[in-house]
Amino acid sequence: MRVEQEARALDALRAAEIRPERRGRARTRGLSLAERELYFWILREFAAARPPSADATRAAAATIGVDLEDALCVLTREDLVHVDAGGWPLVAYPFSARPRGHRVLIDGHRWVDAMCAIDALGIAPMLRLPVEIHSRDPLSGAEIRVRLDPSDGASWEPEEAVVLSGSARCEGPSFRGCCDVLNFFERRENAERYLAGNTSVSGHPISLPEAIAAGRIVFGDVFTEER
């Protein structure tokens, strides 16, 4: 069953146009050691529920000894971090500095915002900590809750909930293509209705176990090289 779920998760990632170089430890292969250190610092700040300011990011870069502008250009090119005109990190997958409709409680203590459903599901395996995800069906408004623990498995409500894996078929970074599409739905029929009503979106609904596997593939090994 695990092998089958992994295979379907890989199909889902292809549908979302999340390429192999954006999965796991491969996400950081295009970074220098200093750029990777800055990237990990940004992720940790988001994970601690304190999205870094432009000034804090500048100070961290100075401490690490990396040119901030050059590093941010690389992080943007690699579709890892995106900043506003003032240098404030707004996106650091799987995290968002702004509400996206996917709230995640990490280890029962701190709330963060995830960019999409797959990103929300990737936080637990990335941090090796339990999370509770609160989201809503974009059609019905029904609440979906997912409890995910790297060691104890997962549970969710409603039991029929699915994730739509797909893309809006546009070029550029993930937040312009798949992030708005990768949502939780309370049932498969709602996801199919969403697809039928949005002809610019391609994709298909996947089960929660498949979506959890997809999140693990994308984010589970991000910090591996650091250990």
- The set of residues, in sequence order, having a beta carbon less than 8 Å from that of 85 and lying 6+ positions away, is none
Q: Is the peptide bond before 52 cis (omega within 30 degrees of 0)?
A: no
Strand partners, 96: 91, 113
Residue 103 has what pLDDT? 98
- Residues 63-94 as b/e (b if ≥16 CB within 10 A, e otherwise) read ebebebeebbebbeebbbbbbeeebebebbbb
pLDDT score at 4: 74
Report domain 2-19+102-226's class. alpha beta
What number is the average pLDDT over the span 10-31?
81
Question: How high is the pLDDT of residue 210?
Answer: 92
Give the Cα separation of 145 and 117 in Å (integer).
11
**CA–CA separation, 48 and 226 (whole Å):** 18
CB 192 within 8 A of CB 127: no
Task: Please tell me the distance from the alpha carbon of residue 64 to that of residue 55, in angstroms, as a whole number.
Answer: 14
Mean pLDDT of the chain: 89
User: What is the location of CATH 3.30.450.410 in the chain?
Assistant: 2-19+102-226
Note if the pTM is more than 0.95.
Answer: no
At residue 227, the pLDDT reads 37
The domain defined by 26-96 carries CATH number 1.10.10: yes
Predicted local distance difference test score (pLDDT) of residue 6: 74
Task: For residue 75, give the nearest of 24, 45, 37, 112 by alpha carbon.
Answer: 37
177 falls in which pLDDT band (50, 70, 90)?
low
Q: How confident is the model at residue 1 (pLDDT cuts 50, 70, 90)?
A: low
Who wins on pLDDT, 56 or 26? 56
pLDDT score for 22? 80
φ, ψ of residue 10 in degrees (nearest 5): -65, -40
What token pair was written down for 91? 């996106």
pLDDT digits (tens, 9 = 90+) for 97-147: 999 999 999 999 999 999 999 999 999 999 999 999 999 999 999 999 999
β-partners of residue 162 are 185, 207
Confidence band of 10 (pLDDT split at 50, 70, 90): confident
Residue range 133-174, pLDDT digits in tens: 999 999 999 999 999 998 778 999 999 999 998 887 655 555
What is residue 79's DSSP assignment? T
Give CATH 1.10.10 domain extents, the chain. 26-96
